[in-house]
Amino acid sequence: MPEQKFMRTVRSFVLRQGRLTSGQEAALKKLWPDFGLEASDGLFDFTAVFDRQAPVTLEIGFGNGDSLATMARNSPERDFVGIEVHRPGVGHILHLIEKYDLKNLRVIRDDAVEIIKNNIAENSLDCVQLFFPDPWHKKKHNKRRIVQPEFVSLLATRLQKGGIFHMATDWQEYAEHMAEVMEAHPDFESISDSPYSKKPESRPETKFERRGLDRGHGVWDLLYRCNKA
């Protein structure tokens, strides 16, 4: 499928400058040079970044990074790249990288859409994860949701054939929106008989998931395989 033009007109996130702890600030200063990736680096060569050839998972919006770091610890045969705009979360995951000596995890602090457009090579990803993104549940804000047809088309060019786009949300209406977008896209098919899949054991519970469950929300996982020609 030819690359489709994706214009970034509406951001799917609000940049909140949370307060850094001393540990997070120290981790940013000490570890970013070795484990941070910059937009200015150009097109990422993951084989060179990780000094090996392995399947690459990209997570969009990893929050505080606990679940992503856990996945990296549990799957040393895979490489992981996490994108997050909030500095405290970036500082925290860098601390976890050092704490657990995670050689298979790198971090980006930037707009995920711009990074995917400009820095991720075509057919270079084995999996893309989007866990508990901002649901923008007010109708007038629905256009801010990151899962839109244009964004999914962009992901299809970056995923390898057979690669997985894994979404999770605790907002039923957003889950239905995700399902509608994915079911209509010609380059993806659900790995299940329905749009919704059983939560994989490999996905740890996240802070946002626990918060949603405490509020009585359900949780929906959607896993779609890239079947582009």
98: CATH: 3.40.50.150
Distance separating alpha carbons of residues 61 and 58, to the nearest angstrom:
10
- Provide the domain count of the chain: 1
Q: What pLDDT is stored for residue 16 in this prediction? A: 58
Instruction: Assign 106 a pLDDT band (cuts: 50, 70, 90).
Output: very high
Domain presence at residue 3 = no
Distance separating alpha carbons of residues 208 and 212, to the nearest angstrom:
6
Domain presence at residue 27 = no
Domain presence at residue 136 = yes
Q: What pLDDT is stored for residue 206 in this prediction? A: 85
Q: What is the mean pLDDT of the chain?
A: 91
Which residues are 37's β-sheet partners?
Answer: 108
Distance separating alpha carbons of residues 179 and 165, to the nearest angstrom:
12
CA distances from 197 to 15, 86, 219, 225 (A): 31, 29, 11, 12
Distance separating alpha carbons of residues 59 and 51, to the nearest angstrom:
20
Domain encompassing residue 95? 46-226
Q: What pLDDT is stored for residue 85 in this prediction? A: 94
Domain presence at residue 22 = no
Q: What pLDDT is stored for residue 216 in this prediction? A: 85
Mean pLDDT of the 5-21 span: 58
Domain presence at residue 23 = no
Domain presence at residue 41 = no
Domain presence at residue 157 = yes
Which tokens is 107 given?
């971090």
Would you please indicate which residues are annotated as catalytic (active-site) residues?
A: 134
Instruction: Assign 23 a pLDDT band (cuts: 50, 70, 90).
Output: confident
Q: What pLDDT is stored for residue 7 in this prediction? A: 45
Distance separating alpha carbons of residues 97 and 82, to the nearest angstrom:
12
Instruction: Assign 13 a pLDDT band (cuts: 50, 70, 90).
Output: very low
Domain presence at residue 24 = no
pLDDT at residue 167 is higher than 50: yes
Higher confidence at residue 3 or residue 113?
113
Nearest C-alpha neighbor of 66 from the set 207, 201, 214: 207
Altogether, the residues listed in the chain come to a count of: 229
- The 10s digit of each residue's pLDDT in 54-74 is 999 999 999 999 999 999 999
pTM: 0.89
